[in-house]
Amino acid sequence: MLRFTGLDQQYPDKRPAKERRKDFDEIYAPFSAKAGADQAERCSQCGVPFCQSGCPLHNDIPDWLMLAAEGRMQEAWERSSATSTMPEICGRICPQDRLCEGACVIEQSGHGAVTIGAVETHITETAWKEGWITPIRPKRDTGFSVGVVGAGPAGLAAAERLREQGHSVTIYDRYDRAGGLLVYGIPNFKLDKAVVTRRTERLEKSGVVFKLNTELGRDVSLEELRARHDAVFLAIGTYKAHQLTCPGGGSAGLVPAMEYLTASNRRGFDETPEGFASGRLNAKDRRVIVIGGGDTAMDCVRTAIRQGASAVTCLYRRDRANMPGSAREVAHAEEEGVVFEWLSAPVAVLGDAQTVRGVRVQRMMLGTADASGRRRPMAIAGSESDMPADLVIAALGYEPEDVDSLTAGGGPVLTPRGTVRVTERCRTSLPGVYAGGDIVRGASLVVWAIKDGQDAAAVIHADLMARIAAEHAPELEPAE
Ligand SMILES: Cc1cc2nc3c(=O)[nH]c(=O)nc-3n(C[C@H](O)[C@H](O)[C@H](O)COP(=O)(O)OP(=O)(O)OC[C@H]3O[C@@H](n4cnc5c(N)ncnc54)[C@H](O)[C@@H]3O)c2cc1C
Ligand code: SF4
């Protein structure tokens, strides 16, 4: 260990931008066994591991790095999977520069962080290859049944941990495939869909029942679910897109990011969604403008490049240093040919009610920091110009759908933001109803959704066990 002074930081080989622009395959090759062990060996084995504090799951990073460096891969995988239900997914798509690797002491000392995410992926990919990951066979069946609404990372993580404890689990989702944003939001070039399917198939083989094409509020009510199950976990994410409020923002020609990405991800399953066939959701040979600076915007610009757009521009009202998306993703996008117009805000979408033909853009400057800690953009008078485009995509973030109407007014107490209010232990205001993931935090990250799912499973299990204990407690004689 401690080889960080003599061995340079190395990420897995990244395919050349020219090549990866042409397909949707993942951009990184896997680590070889030697490269994985070498990079793990750079860890300084800190007594107080800041990387672990930087990881929402508090993964035992130094331990599994040491085991991987020593070639004890099965033990490394056991250690890693003890705190995470999807290490190979987090290893691929966590913004490590803002989490574990950003906190790594070696990074702070200027040597370049241990490539934690890549080693994490390498460990679990080895486990899949070696056949160490098998269906869950609980030691006993508790006889309790838990309903999970939402098959995204929060719901899947909860289902896995609950099944391990011996509970029956049924997952309901309105989509036709399980995975939530892992399947229909995040593109293949960041996360191959086979990686997600492998996880959901394992859950199915473990006895978890998936009821897909089943929507809470349409096909089933919360009341019915509470009657059917001993506990219900709500993990329905946030899907109401923020609207562009400038003139033209209501044009039917303006494409919402999720509609665009979902169609592209469906293409990856060899489907041809209607909007794609009509050309509305296909960037081929078109000049594309994406409005926004988060992860969703980065996924849209990079998807448009792969669909064969003639030009792709990202408009963002702050500068590079103040954008919410991962710096690594921006670098990938630039390599692939995306043009970033920093400090540029849309003031009008040009065109008519049905079609768009461009965006009127105003230049901005940055003022003092706002509540989010980022500097507030301010318009520069007289700086407007028109930017032509054939496809304009709005990627401005998400908020929860109306939970009150999904639950016919019989749902849990909400926050003023419309997210579900929970105690620090994932319990909602309704007995036996728990919640986690984006529907509690607002649009967040996969790793936080996994944490919420795992935490909720632990609380649900404890509450169900307490119920048994209460039922079997001997009646105490009242004191004289
Ligand atoms: C385009 C995009 C890219 C992203 N990239 C990254 C990234 O690179 N790294 C990262 O860490 N995070 C990323 N995120 C954020 C991350 O995907 C989310 O934080 C995470 O998926 C939230 O998990 P969840 O389980 O709470 O919700 P979701 O993944 O949204 O899953 C919710 C599930 O609930 C279902 N559902 C919703 N309503 C109902 C209903 N009424 N009845 C039944 N089912 C319902 C949905 O169909 C869905 O399957 C990205 C988000 C987007 C939109
Ligand atoms: S889960 Fe994410 S933050 Fe935690 S160690 Fe893995 S990549 Fe880093």
Choose the final residue of a domain: 352, 375, 397.
Answer: 397
Q: Do 382 and 448 belong to one domain?
A: no
Query: What pLDDT was estimated at residue 473?
Result: 74
In this structure, which residue's CA is closest to atom 44 in ligand 1? 173
Q: Answer whether residue 479 is part of any domain.
A: no
Q: Are 232 and 407 in contact (CB under 8 A)?
A: no
Where does 61-109 have alpha helices with state H? 61-69, 73-83, 87-93, 100-103, 105-108
Q: How many CB atoms lie within 10 A of CB 446?
A: 27
Shared-domain flag, residues 223 and 165:
yes
- The encoded tokens of residue 435 equal 């919640």
Per the rule left: phi > 0, alpha: psi between -120 and 50, beta: everything else, 83 is: alpha
Q: Quick one: pLDDT at residue 105? A: 92
Q: What is the pLDDT of residue 257?
A: 97
Tell me the CATH number at 24. Answer: 1.10.1060.10
248 lies in the same domain as 233: no
Q: CA nearest 12: which of 78, 72, 96? A: 96
Mean pLDDT of the 13-26 span: 96
The answer to whether residues 255 and 228 belong to one domain is no
The structure tokens 């070889």 sit at 32
User: pLDDT tens digits, residue range 380-408?
Assistant: 999 999 999 999 999 999 999 999 999 99
Q: Is the pLDDT of residue 202 over 90?
A: yes
pLDDT band at 480 (very low <50, low <70, confident <90, very high): low
pLDDT of residue 479: 56
Stretch 233-260: mean pLDDT, rounded? 95
Distance of CA 13 to the CA centre of its chain: 23
Q: Predicted confidence band at 67 (pLDDT cuts at 50, 70, 90)?
A: very high
pLDDT value for 440: 98
Total tally of structural domains belonging to the chain = 3
pLDDT of residue 476: 56
pLDDT at 203 over 90: yes
Q: Nearest ligand, CA of residue 118?
A: 2
Quick check: is 246 in a domain? yes
- Report the pLDDT value the prediction gives residue 475, as an integer from 0 to 100: 60
Decide if 276 is inside a domain: yes
Mean pLDDT of 187-191: 97
437 pLDDT more than 90: yes
Cα(100) to centroid(ligand 2), Å: 6
Instruction: Confirm whether 122 is domain-assigned.
Output: yes
Residues 412 and 311 in one domain: no
CA count, 13 A, side-chain hemisphere, 303:
32
More confident residue, 110 or 421: 421
Ligand 1 neighbourhood includes 154 CB (under 6 angstroms): yes
Average pLDDT over residues 105-118: 92
The reply to whether ligand 2 has any atom less than 6 angstroms from the CB of 160 is: no
Q: Does any ligand 1 atom lie closer than 6 A to the CB of residue 290? A: no
**How far apart (Å, rounded) are the C-alpha atoms in residues 152 and 81?**
18
Q: Which residue would you say has higher pLDDT here, 5 or 204?
A: 204
Rounded CA separation 244/367 (Å): 22
**Residue 425: is its pLDDT beyond 70?**
yes
Which residues, in sequence order, are CB contacts of 336 under 8 Å at separation 6+? 17, 20, 21, 302, 305
- Which residue is closest in CA terms to ligand 1's atom 14? 445
- Whether residue 391 sits in one domain with residue 277: yes
Ligand nearest to the CA of 187: 1
Q: Let me know if residue 11 belongs to a domain.
A: yes
> Is 216 part of any domain?
yes
**Residue minimizing CA distance to atom 35 of ligand 1:** 150
How close is the Cα of 239 to the center of ligand 2, in Å? 25
CA dist list (Å): 240 to 128, 184, 225, 279, 358: 36, 15, 24, 24, 24
Which pTM was predicted? 0.95
Per-residue pLDDT, averaged over 38-60, amounts to 96
pLDDT mean across residues, the chain: 95
pLDDT band at 374 (very low <50, low <70, confident <90, very high): confident
Q: Report helix angle 116-130 to 61-69, nearest 10.
A: 60
119 lines ligand 2 (CB under 6 A): no
Q: Tell me, what's the pLDDT at 339? A: 97
Residues 263, 392, single domain; the answer is yes
Boundary of a domain, candidates 102, 130, 158: 130
pLDDT score of 193 more than 70: yes
Report percent pLDDT > 90 for the chain: 88
Distance from the Cα of residue 115 to its chain's centroid: 20
Q: Is 198's pLDDT higher than 70?
A: yes
Q: Are residues 349 and 208 in the same domain?
A: no
Which strand ranges, in their side-by-side order, compose the sheet holding 209-211? 209-211, 168-172, 145-149, 231-234, 433-435
What is the 469 CA–ligand 1 centroid distance (Å)? 36
Give the pLDDT band (50/70/90) at residue 308. very high
Candidate from 28, 65, 89, 100 with most ligand 2 atoms within 8 A of CB, to mutate:
100
Same domain for 17 and 111: yes
Ligand 2 near 395 CB (within 6 A) = no
Tell me which ligand sits closest to the C-alpha of residue 83: 2
Residue 136 lies in a domain: no
Inform me whether the pLDDT recorded for 47 exceeds 80.
yes
The residue out of 397, 429, 446 marking a domain boundary is: 397
pLDDT class of 439 with cuts at 50, 70, 90: very high
Decide if 139 is inside a domain.
no
Confidence tier at 477 by pLDDT (50, 70, 90): low
Same domain, 223 and 187: yes
Q: Which domain holds residue 110?
A: 3-130
CA of 261 from ligand 1 middle (Å) equals 13
Tell me: do 84 and 155 sit in the same domain: no
Each residue's pLDDT tens digit, 135-187 = 999 999 999 999 999 999 999 999 999 999 999 999 999 999 999 999 999 99
- Can you give the CATH number for the domain in which 189 is found? 3.50.50.60
Whether 372 has a pLDDT exceeding 80, the answer reads: no
What pLDDT, on the 0 to 100 scale, is given for residue 478? 59
Tell how strand 344-351 and strand 356-369 pair up.
antiparallel
Q: Give the pLDDT of residue 260.
A: 97
User: Does residue 219 sit in the same domain as residue 174?
Assistant: yes
